[in-house]
Structure 1
Amino acid sequence: MIRLSAVLALTLSVASLQAAPIERLWLSHAFETPNQLVVNWETETPSDSTVEFGASEALGTKVHRDEKVTLHHVEIPLASPGGRYHYRVRSGEETSAIHSFKGYPKDELRIVIVGDWGYSKVTDFSALMKDDPHLIISAGDNVASLHEKGREGMKAFSALIASQPALFRSIPFMPILGNHDREITPRGPKPPEHPVYDVEAQAYREFFALPGDEWKWHLDLPEFDIRFIALDLQHISDFGSTWQTCHPFDAQSEQFLWYRDLMGQSSQGFVFTLINEKQTAVESQTKGLWHEWFSKGSALISGFGYFADRAELKSGLPYYNTCLKGDGSPYKDPRSKFFAQQDNYLLLTLRRGQPVTIQFKNLKGEVLDTTHIEKRVKP
């Protein structure tokens, strides 16, 4: 006979499991301007979505969605610049602790750009957190693949969020695509009969709430006169084979025409383009087609190589490669001005009316290289 105390203990254990707090949360933007923030989380069972938020832990405002889902994306308004927002999420009987994030400021904006998180062995991000960024942007390859056992499809992105819970629940994260973010089968030594990559990046687009088409997007921060443009360029030499990873990029492609028109319309003082490919590969394969438009911006940033590299292109355009895994083969750019084989990230610091300061920093928080970019002459 089962003792009553054992039944009670089992009941309490099940209830405790069901009431486990929601801990895997991340923040992003689904529109081109930061008037709203998306709070994202996952639950084990389909349930509704509620975000409570406010200027203090008293919260006071609520956004509710009644649909039954396991992947939750809820937009909340950002009422005014600066300050700190507090929030909590609820789904059915599950809830999170109260967390917080910074609103975008009026005086000084700090943005971190990282590359190749998927193969990084970095676990200590305390130096990066000390920089107190308002936004983190990736330069692609956020995960190693979408086929690792136990990390298939969206589970790979879930594992990324779970690896740094304090970071992702407190700083908006805007990733761009690399080839590994859509690798659905092992690559192998030669192109197989089946596609290795999901060109449409369905898992990535479903998991992250991003602007526009999501596989390409742009984000404007009007207070600081800056625009970021995310492209889908990587492994372009494999285009047309079963190793093809990115969308078309020729002169008549949707991606190029979108970028050309967007650059032509960009009146911001600072415009940064993000890719996951070597700039020399893009230049040679497209015969300078993209570079004509890259050069109209403030800088080109990539995450293709496992090192830190800063170059000045023939047009004078600054070019940066950043990577959280800095010990790879040294494919130094032919016009390199700075190069280091260390785990690194970029810190962009903007103060109203001043040039952008860009620093390569290692994961100890040490500054490796510093440059300043003046406002571009607007078209």
Structure 2
Amino acid sequence: MTLLRALASLSLFTSGLQAGSIERIWLSHPSNQPNQMVINWETQAPGDSVVEFGPTSALGQKVILEDKVTLHHVKIPLDFKEGLCHYRVRSGDDVSRVATFKNYSKDTLRVIIVADWGYSKVTDFSAVLRDDPHLLLSAGDNVASLHEKGREGTRAFSALIDQQPALFRSLPFLPILGNHDREITPRGPKPPAHAVYDIEASAYREFFALPGDEWKWHFDLPDFDLRFIALDLNHIQDFGTTWQTCHPYDASSAQFLEYRDLMAQTKAGFVFTLMNEKQTAVQGLTKGLWHEEFVKGSALVTGFGYFADRAELKGGLPYFNTCLKGDGSPYKDPQSKFFAQQDNYLLLTFQRGEPTMQVQFKNMQGEVLDTTVIPKRKL
């Protein structure tokens, strides 16, 4: 059963939900390997956390956490064969209908990367669903801010989930940070006396259950010889001011040293680095420090600009800028090979054991705008 068919079936369930039922559910991975899924949900009143799950709608397995909370994170093992995992969540008297997500295929992997959801007006994700993905990633700026009235703190991320409830309850989501994901007060025309951004990204890390330090992470899919690495690079020119958004990124920073070591240790044939900064800004302000490591990977992906852009950097490294809001100022990368001002996303397709993979820019109608074939790294 495809994800689209599963979601269509699920919509029949949700139309009959009773008041008090749990509707805001999202999925994520808590570690660097796809051996666990975190089922996340929210309730108005504190309660325990129960997930019932199994390979069929009969469920049959259960995880219970007794702590009384309103923000629930429950890990379940991913030990089923290829196909659907069925699950339901409970907290006190609140219960969800049975939902499903796909277990990872052994032969084909499809990954969607989006960016700048916070300012996007896109509401129709049917093209994404038709691509039948296994995993959803972001390149940052998932929300507009953390200070909009009624959407303060974690409520901004709750509103994000509410935009596409069927998508998030059926597809694991691993976001990365942009500056807007930690903006706790308005930015203003010049740096104020107080900090505008929560550098530690407390609300983001509380809401999403992600691998590693959460503000940076890596995620591996060994069956496809694949590693994703998420960095915290955004608005780096504001470092050291009250507009500072990201963690340190200089040569002695923990972030850079970990990335350098990861690139040195990584044996995966495909390595995708994700950030939310313009590559020329990183190149200029670090005098090429990060680019010496970027070029060891397969591709660099960002969500900095409001357009679609593909460039070829030093050594032929593919560089992609994707955005769900594609009508921004058209400043192409100096090495741009493809550019479009359309709402867009990236579809990454991997075939197990194959020496190449494919990256496609697609618009929100599902039309292919650009295709790149990337070979495995030579180690």
Q: 1:141 touches 1:180 (CA, 8 Å); kept in 2? A: yes
Question: Which residue is equivalent to 1:12?
Answer: none
1:325 Cα deviation from its structure 2 partner: 0.3
Q: In the TM superposition, what are the counterparts of 1:239-278 in structure 2 within 5 Å?
A: 239-278=239-278
Which residue of the partner structure matches residue 24 of structure 2? 24
For structure 2, the 5+ residue unaligned runs are 1-16
Instruction: State percent identity of aligned pairs.
Output: 74
Aligned pair count reads 363
* TM-score, length of structure 2 as denominator length: 0.95
Deviation at 1:316, TM superposition (A): 1.3
Q: Distance in 2 between matches of 1:81 and 1:227?
A: 22
SS of alignment partner, residue 315 of structure 2: coil
TM-score for the superposition, normalised by structure 1:
0.95
Q: How does 1:1-379 map to 2 (within 5 A)?
A: 20-354=20-354, 355-378=356-379
Gaps of 5+ in 1: 1-16
- Shift of the alpha carbon at 1:18? 9.2
Within 2, Cα distance between the matches of 1:190 and 1:20? 45
Superimposed CA distance per residue, residues 35-84 of structure 1 (whole angstroms, 9 cap, x where no aligned partner): 00000000001100000001111000000100000000000001044210
Once residues 331 and 30 of structure 1 are traced to their aligned partners in structure 2, the CA distance between those partners, rounded to angstroms, is 36
* Correspondence for 2:4: none
**Matched AA of 1:332:** K
1:199–1:246 Cα contact (<8 Å) kept = yes
Q: Distance in 2 between matches of 1:221 and 1:80?
A: 16
Contact 1:309 1:321 in 2 (8 A): yes
Letter in 1 for 2:285: Q
Runs of at least 4 residues off by over 3 Å: none
Query: What is the DSSP-based 3-state SS (H/G/I as helix, E as strand, rest coil) of the residue aligned with 1:281?
Result: helix
Q: CA deviation at 1:353?
A: 2.1
The CA deviation at 1:19 is: 5.6
- Tell me, in whole angstroms, the C-alpha distance in 2 between the residues paired with 1:80 and 1:256: 37
* Secondary structure in structure 1 of the residue aligned to 2:319: strand
Report if aligned partners of 1:205, 1:215 keep a CA contact under 8 Å in 2: yes
CA deviation after TM superposition for structure 1 residue 314, in Å: 2.0
Query: In structure 2, how many angstroms separate the alpha carbons of the residues matched to 1:340 and 1:333?
Result: 12
1:169-192 deviation line (CA, Å, top 9, x unaligned): 000000000000000000000000
Q: Distance in 1 between matches of 2:341 and 2:37?
A: 35
Deviations for 1:302-338, whole angstroms, at most 9, x for unmatched residues? 0000000000002211000000000001120000000
Q: Secondary structure at the match of 2:306?
A: coil
1:14 corresponds in structure 2 to: none
Q: Pairwise CA RMSD of aligned residues?
A: 1.2
Report if aligned partners of 2:181, 2:204 keep a CA contact under 8 Å in 1. Answer: yes
Q: Is the 8 A contact 2:55 2:80 kept in 1?
A: no
Any idea what the Cα deviations from partners look like across 1:160-213, whole Å, max 9, x if unmatched? 001100000000000000000000000000000000000000000000000010
Alpha-carbon distance between aligned partners in 2 of 1:341 and 1:55, rounded to the nearest angstrom: 43
Contact 1:247–1:255 (Cα < 8 Å) also in 2: yes
Contact in 1 for aligned 2:52/2:59 (Cα 8 Å): yes
Instruction: Give the partner amino acid of 2:362.
Output: K
- Give the AA of the match of 1:338: F
Answer whether contact 1:28 1:37 (CA < 8 A) is retained: yes
**Structure 1 residue identity aligned to 2:172:** P
Code of the residue aligned with 1:85 in structure 2: it is C
Aligned-residue offset at 1:100: 0.1
Partners in 2 of 1:22 and 1:282 — Cα distance? 43
* C-alpha distance in 2 between matches for 1:19 and 1:109: 37
For structure 1, which segment, 80-89 or 143-152, has the greater mean C-alpha deviation from structure 2 after superposition? Answer: 80-89
Letter in 2 for 1:266: T
